[in-house]
Every structure is written in C-alpha cells, then in structure tokens.
A and B are shown apart, each in its own frame.
Chain A
Amino acid sequence: MVFYLVVGLGFVLALLIEGSIFSFFIVEKALPDLVLVMTISLGFLLGERRGAFLGLCAGLFQDVIFGSVLGFFALAKMLLGYGAGLLGRELYQEQLLAPVLLVFVGTLAHEFVLSFLVSQFIGLGVPVEWSLGRLFIPKAFYNMGLTLLLYPLLFRFSRGSKFLGLRFSLRERRF
C-alpha cells in the first residue's frame, strides 16, 4: 500500500515537473516524458499487470490534467506498461542497458500510438517523417537520459534496500 502511495505521489510530482520545469528544456520541440519513463521502468520491474495498471492510472491522470479528451495517454501508457512488464520477465532487471533501450523503443512506440490515435479519432495529423526527426527521436534520447538517472532509484525502491548497485555490463548477472 505504501509502495503504491509513494508511486502515486511520484507520478503526480512527475506530471507537475513535466508541465512546468521541463518545459524550459525543450530539445528540437521535444520534451522529456517523465511519466512515461516511470511507467516503462516500473512496468519492467513489477510485471505486466501492475505495469498496465500504473500506466492506465498515470495516463488517465495526465489526460485529466493536460487534455480535455480522456483516454489517449491512458491507452498509450497502459499498453507501454504492459509491454514493459512482459519484457521485464525476459530481460535482466538489474542491468541498466535493457531498461534504457526499452525506454528508447517504448518512447517511439508511445509516440506512434498517440499519433495514430490522434489522427484516427481527432483527425489531426502531423507527417510522421517530420515528427520522427523533430519530436520522437529527440524525446526518446531525452527519456533515455532520464532513465539513466531514474531507473536505479526505482530499482532500489522496488527491491527495498537489499540491492544497492546496478551493473552496466551485459555479461555479468548479479542478484
């Protein structure tokens, strides 16, 4: 219960930071998506069901706070949380490379899903080639950077204080 309370507060804080402080760190019109990084990282650590649940809640909250249309962020983030959870069973969670790459790919997927939903349900569309270079890829790199900082904290938090270190190496696995 405490865990979910802290995670919930973390998501609220992430949304607040995203909407205020991060808006001053725009790279090529792209902003980092802290909520997405948290969703993918936590989904990767906690499994697909909890990942989907956290993605759904965080996405819905984001829909309410930042958009009048409900469901876009909820759907996209829920799918990403679910997918990250599925991969979390297959990949090494204690190594940083997997979540970092996953966040990169996940960000691109998230943006493509959103782009698809917006074009299908709202009728607004930006050429994908333009969005890819100007928005999606810079955002994905931005999120990768955030993951480097955030994932070790979330990993430690999800495991309690037993695991203090993360290894960058792919060869060695340590529990």
Chain B
Amino acid sequence: MAKQNQQGRRSLLLLLAVVLGLLLLIVFTGDGREKLTPVEDVLLALFAPVQTVFSSAGQSIQSFFEAIVSFHQLKTENERLQAEIDFIQNQLVKFLELQKENHRFRQLLEFKQSSGHALLAAEVIARDPSQWFGTITVNRGYLDGVQREMAVITDRGLVGMVCTVSPNSSQVILVTDPRLPVSAMVQRSRDPGIVGIVESYSKDPSFLNLTYLPPDTRIQPGDAVISSGLGGIFPKGLYIGTVKEVKEDQFGLVLSAVVEPGVNFNRLEEVLIVIGPAKD
C-alpha cells in the first residue's frame, strides 16, 4: 500500500515536471522561432508527402459530396422550374380558352342581333354518349322560357330541336339524329313546292341526307340547303348545310343529296334557342 502511494506520488511529481517542461516549451516557442529543430524538420519532411496523398483523397471525398449536394440543388431547382412551367402552361391554356370563348360569343352576339329571331343563348353541358352526337344537354330550361320543339341554332346553322325540358336544362335532339327529319329546300332555286327532307346520313354520321326531291329539282353541289318552315317547328330560312353530291335513285323517281352541315356537331359549345319571333 505504501509502495503504491509512493508510486502514485512519483507519477504525480513526474506529471508536474512534464507539465512544467511543456509550459517552458510553450514559452520558448510561443514568441515565434526562426528555425525549426532538426527533429521537426525530419518529421515534417517525412509527413508532407503522406499528407499530400491524404489531402487529395480528402478533396476527392469533398468533390463527391459536393456533387451530391449540387445534384440535390439542381433537382430542387428543376422541380421548382417544372412547377412554374406547369403553372404557366395552365394559365396559357386558360387564356387561349377564354380567347376562343370570347370569339365565339362575339359571333353569336352578332348573329343574334341580325337573325330576326328572339334567341336565348345556352351552353352545352353534356352530350349523350350512347349515340353519335344524337342529343345534347344545354343549361337552359323552362324557367328560362325554353319549351319543347323550339329550334336550336348557332351562327353556322341549324343544330336541332328541344325535345325535353327540365327547370334548368333541356335536351336537344340534333339534326344528325335519325329521329329528327327536317323539311328543307334549296336556297338558290327556292322552287315553291319543291321540298325535301333532311335526315341523318347512315353512311357517314357527320353528313346529312336530303331526300324525296322531285327529279326535276334544280340542285347542284355547292347549293345551300335551308329549312322550309313547313311543319311549324323550324322557322323558314335557317341554314342547314351545303350540297356535296346529288344522286338519283335506281328508278329515277326521286333525287337525293349529301349535305355537309354548317354546324360542326363535334365542337358544339354554345347554342342559341329560338324562343320566338324577334321583338321590335
């Protein structure tokens, strides 16, 4: 025990001596030295090349981590820019949409003012997917004054007829629907009594068929086909389409014509409902 204490005391004394020595070393070397000791020279000379190797390894590691960091930054920036592009594209689509809508409304307005009918503008809100554009739904109903069998038109021509009416919407049967025959005549000749029936064209639903024309009807491709006003549903003189081709039946008893409708039924967005004669 006494020996251990003695050893401990000796260790402590040795430690104090070394501490004192180191403090002196600090004092002597602290003011700046002109020259390093030979031992330091050798150690530094030996150490320098190894330090160079480790330093370049360190730089490689740094480059690696910097690459990761810059990749992350680029990714973040890319995501931000992509979001901006998406937003701007979205705005552009909205802008173009509004521009087109504005153009359509202008045309409708001009047509409404010059048509000679009391018209109610309506927006197409649905299409019947079960038929080939056979019916559409518009956002006007009997609360807006819409009634069954009212004609529906656009500035490009006849669209169809209101077939069912609810408070705030109506269904419109299109002239391309086989259920809706329209009494029509050729605008150029306007032969009295020469009236045909416009109905859907079974071979191509985007065209109409003008049938039951007498064989002496003066009709040729390019002629405009208009509503005759017979039947009391469609006012007389509504543009329907243009004759594309004239055909004779196999016995030569009647003529028929393929009519290209003025209205593009695939792109119907706004329509006008003829709610009565023009009010002065």
| Chain A residues with a Cβ under 8 A of chain B | 16-17, 19-21, 23-24, 48-49, 52, 56, 61, 64-65, 68-72, 74-75, 78-79, 82, 117, 121-122
Residue of A24, A48, A78 near B22 (CB, 8 A) is A78
> Provided the pairs A16-B50, A52-B15, A65-B47 are in contact, do residues A71 and B58 lie with their beta carbons within 8 angstroms?
no
Stretch of B27-35, B135-143, B253-261 that contacts chain A: B27-35
Inter-subunit contact A16/B62 (CB<8 Å)? no
* Docked CA distance A160–B137 (Å): 89
Inter-subunit contact A72/B26 (CB<8 Å)? yes
> Provided the pairs A56-B18, A78-B18 are in contact, do residues A121 and B26 lie with their beta carbons within 8 angstroms?
yes
Inter-subunit contact B57/A121 (CB<8 Å)? no
> Provided the pairs A68-B29, A71-B29, A79-B19 are in contact, do residues A61 and B55 lie with their beta carbons within 8 angstroms?
no
B43 within 8 A of A: yes
Inter-subunit contact A68/B32 (CB<8 Å)? yes
B25 within 8 A of A: yes
- Residues of A with C-beta under 8 A to B22: 56, 71, 74-75, 78
* Docked CA distance A69–B36 (Å): 10
| Chain B residues with a Cβ under 8 A of chain A | 11, 15, 18-19, 22-23, 25-27, 29-30, 32-33, 36, 39-40, 43-44, 47, 50-51, 54-55, 57-58, 61-62, 65
- Residues of A with C-beta under 8 A to B51: 16, 19-20
Inter-subunit contact A65/B44 (CB<8 Å)? yes
- Residues of B with C-beta under 8 A to A69: 26, 29-30
List 29 interface pairs A-B (beta carbons < 8 Å), by A numbering: A16-B51, A19-B51, A19-B55, A20-B51, A20-B58, A21-B57, A24-B65, A49-B11, A52-B15, A52-B18, A56-B18, A56-B22, A64-B39, A64-B40, A64-B43, A68-B29, A68-B36, A69-B26, A70-B26, A71-B23, A71-B25, A72-B26, A75-B22, A75-B23, A78-B15, A78-B19, A78-B22, A79-B19, A121-B27
- Residues of A with C-beta under 8 A to B58: 20-21, 23-24
By secondary structure, the A interface counts as helix
- Residues of B with C-beta under 8 A to A56: 18, 22
- Residues of A with C-beta under 8 A to B18: 52, 56, 78
- Residues of A with C-beta under 8 A to B44: 64-65
- Residues of A with C-beta under 8 A to B47: 65
Closest to A79 in B: B19
- Residues of A with C-beta under 8 A to B27: 121
- Residues of A with C-beta under 8 A to B30: 69, 121-122
Inter-subunit contact A24/B50 (CB<8 Å)? no
Inter-subunit contact A16/B43 (CB<8 Å)? no
Inter-subunit contact B25/A24 (CB<8 Å)? no
- Residues of A with C-beta under 8 A to B23: 71, 75
CB distance from B164 to the nearest CB of A (A): 75
- Residues of B with C-beta under 8 A to A20: 51, 54-55, 57-58
> Provided the pairs A21-B57, A24-B61, A24-B65 are in contact, do residues A70 and B11 lie with their beta carbons within 8 angstroms?
no
CB distance from A86 to the nearest CB of B (A): 10
Query: Quick one: which of A48, A56, A64 has the most chain B CB within 10 A?
Result: A64
Closest to B24 in A: A71
Closest to B48 in A: A65
- Residues of B with C-beta under 8 A to A117: 26
Inter-subunit contact B11/A68 (CB<8 Å)? no
